[in-house]
């Protein structure tokens, strides 16, 4: 069986990670990209040219009307996710959405209900927990290798897309309301933290705008500036319950760091993932297992999944998992419920920053 996909939105992330991520399944005949939509003709033509027989359209209605289409991948800008995903679901298409699922928890929950009512699959990025590395790591932890997990420390800290010289999209939107480092990149480690520890019960956070104006370093926009209108640095404390906690730094105001992207500590050991290899879907981790015997044989060792996956980039792993679920080969990992909870964590973080208070969460997954 071949799943016929439509690509909705052909911007930087599509070409950089999603299209390479699709390549192994397209080559194997598991997936066929049937139609590509983008309102910019040049982008949709360029996207369709990468997939034999794909049609380029500049109307979402034309994509929906494409004969034989079964599912769609929503890669549009974040403010459009809820509206477009709803329209795709109402057209009886299964949907994989880029993050966030929606702008509010209520909207995300409405999409989840809509998908269930239409009996359609709705999965959402980021694809962290569906990668080869994190599936393996979850099994390692569940086997008790590091004892009972008690703490995550994590960070996504850089200067944001304005300082990413190779970025081909519009960096300005990432410094405005509704995005910022929390929505754009901290979502990865928050998804990992909740994927390993479980749902968050309450949040404390502090943050603000550290660098209010940015100079863009991308060649084609060199010298233009960006006004920062949403917190570009946030420190977050998460309480999972039963004395299990997480601490996350989300920053677009950190020039460079050598700190790990993610560390998971347990009663019997620790796991550490470097920032440099965060997006490596087959990447190794540093593992330490405590030895309380008189021998004291304990030290960091570098270990990883026993077999590599052909899907090598974290972001690009989401759609292959989506296809595998549609083919009946896997159970859903990147559920709308999990994505909704992570969205709740992020929005509640903003609330905690504004109020200075500890805020409880009601969602779970």
Domain spans in the chain, listed from the N-terminal domain onward: 3-124, 139-305+341-360
Residue 125 has pLDDT above 90, yes or no: yes
Coil, strand or helix at 342: helix
Residue 312 has pLDDT above 90, yes or no: yes
Average confidence (pLDDT) over 56-62: 98
pLDDT at 202: 98
Average confidence (pLDDT) over 94-109: 98
Strand order in the sheet with 122-124: 55-57, 31-37, 3-8, 71-74, 94-97, 122-124
In this structure, the strands spanning 94-97 and 31-37 are unpaired
Q: Phi first, then psi: what are they for 260, rounded to 5°?
A: -60, 150
- pTM (2 d.p.): 0.96
Structural tokens at position 358? 């500890």
Average confidence (pLDDT) over 243-260: 97
Instruction: Determine how many CB atoms are found less than 10 A away from the CB of residue 293.
Output: 8
- Tell me the C-alpha to C-alpha distance, in Å, between residue 168 and each of 58, 157, 219, 222: 20, 20, 10, 13
pLDDT at 169: 87
Tell me the CATH number for domain 139-305+341-360.
3.30.360.10
Q: What is the pLDDT of residues 1-10, one digit of tens each?
A: 999 999 999 9
Give the rounded distance of the alpha carbon of 56 from its chain centre. 27
CA distance 213 to 246: 30
Instruction: Determine how many CB atoms are found less than 10 A away from the CB of residue 113.
Output: 11
CA distance 52 to 72: 17
In this structure, the strands spanning 31-37 and 122-124 are unpaired
pLDDT at 303: 98
pLDDT at 110: 98
Q: Dihedral of CA 181/169/74/31: which sign?
A: negative
Contact 117, 89 (CB under 8 A): no
Q: What angle do CA 21, 22, 28 make, to 5 degrees?
A: 125
Whether a cis peptide bond, with omega within 30° of 0, leads into 125 is no
Structural tokens at position 349? 């973080």
Instruction: Determine how many CB atoms are found less than 10 A away from the CB of residue 145.
Output: 16
Q: Which of these, 10, 135, 139, lies nearest to 63 by C-alpha position?
A: 10
Count Cα atoms within 13 angstroms, Cβ side, for 188.
Answer: 25
pLDDT at 296: 86
Coil, strand or helix at 73: strand
CA distance 117 to 164: 42
Residue 49 has pLDDT above 90, yes or no: yes
Instruction: Determine how many CB atoms are found less than 10 A away from the CB of residue 303.
Output: 15
Domain 139-305+341-360 in the same topology as domain 3-124: no
* DSSP structure class, residue 221: G
Confidence of residue 178 (pLDDT cuts 50, 70, 90): confident
Coil, strand or helix at 156: strand
CATH architecture assignment, domain 3-124: 3-Layer(aba) Sandwich (3.40)
Q: What is the pLDDT of residues 185-243, one digit of tens each?
A: 999 999 999 999 999 999 999 999 999 999 999 999 998 999 999 999 999 999 999 99
Token pair 């992020």 in the structure block, residue: 346
Q: Mean pLDDT over all residues of the chain?
A: 97
- Tell me the C-alpha to C-alpha distance, in Å, between residue 292 and each of 142, 266, 268, 298: 21, 14, 9, 9
- CA-based Rg of the chain, rounded to a whole angstrom? 21
Residue 154 has pLDDT above 90, yes or no: yes
């Amino acid at each position: 069986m071949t799943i016929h996909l439509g690509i909705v939105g052909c911007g930087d992330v599509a070409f950089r990670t999603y299209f390479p991520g699709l390549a192994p399944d397209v080559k194997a005949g598991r997936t066929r990209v049937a139609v590509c939509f983008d309102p910019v003709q040049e982008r949709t033509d360029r996207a369709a040219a990468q997939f034999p027989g794909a049609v380029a359209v500049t109307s979402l209605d034309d994509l929906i009307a494409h004969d034989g289409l079964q599912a769609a991948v929503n890669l549009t800008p974040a403010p459009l996710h809820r509206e477009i995903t709803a329209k795709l679901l109402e057209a009886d298409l299964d949907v994989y959405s880029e993050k966030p699922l929606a702008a509010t928890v209520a909207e995300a929950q409405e999409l989840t209900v809509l998908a269930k009512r239409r009996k359609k699959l709705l999965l959402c990025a980021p694809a962290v927990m569906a990668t080869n590395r994190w599936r393996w790591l979850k099994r390692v932890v569940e086997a008790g290798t590091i004892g009972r997990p008690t703490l995550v420390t994590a960070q996504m800290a850089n200067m944001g897309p304005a300082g990413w010289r190779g970025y081909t999209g519009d960096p300005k939107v990432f410094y405005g309301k509704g995005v910022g480092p929390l929505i754009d990149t901290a979502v990865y480690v928050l998804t990992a933290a909740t994927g390993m520890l479980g749902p968050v019960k309450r949040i404390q956070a502090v943050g603000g705008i550290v660098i209010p104006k940015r100079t863009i370093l991308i060649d084609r926009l060199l010298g233009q500036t960006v006004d920062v209108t949403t917190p570009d640095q946030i420190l977050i404390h998460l309480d999972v319950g039963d004395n299990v906690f997480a601490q996350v730094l989300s920053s677009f105001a950190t020039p460079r760091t050598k700190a790990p992207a993610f560390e998971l500590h347990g009663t019997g050991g620790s796991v550490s993932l470097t920032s440099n290899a965060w997006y490596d879907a087959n990447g190794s981790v540093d593992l330490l297992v405590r030895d309380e015997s008189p021998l004291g044989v304990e030290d960091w060792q570098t270990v990883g999944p026993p077999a590599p996956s052909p899907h090598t980039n974290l972001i690009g792993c989401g759609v292959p998992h989506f296809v595998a679920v549609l083919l009946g080969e896997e159970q859903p990992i990147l559920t709308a419920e999990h994505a909704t909870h992570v969205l709740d964590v992020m929005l509640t973080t903003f609330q905690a920053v504004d109020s200075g208070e500890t805020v409880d969460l009601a969602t779970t997954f």
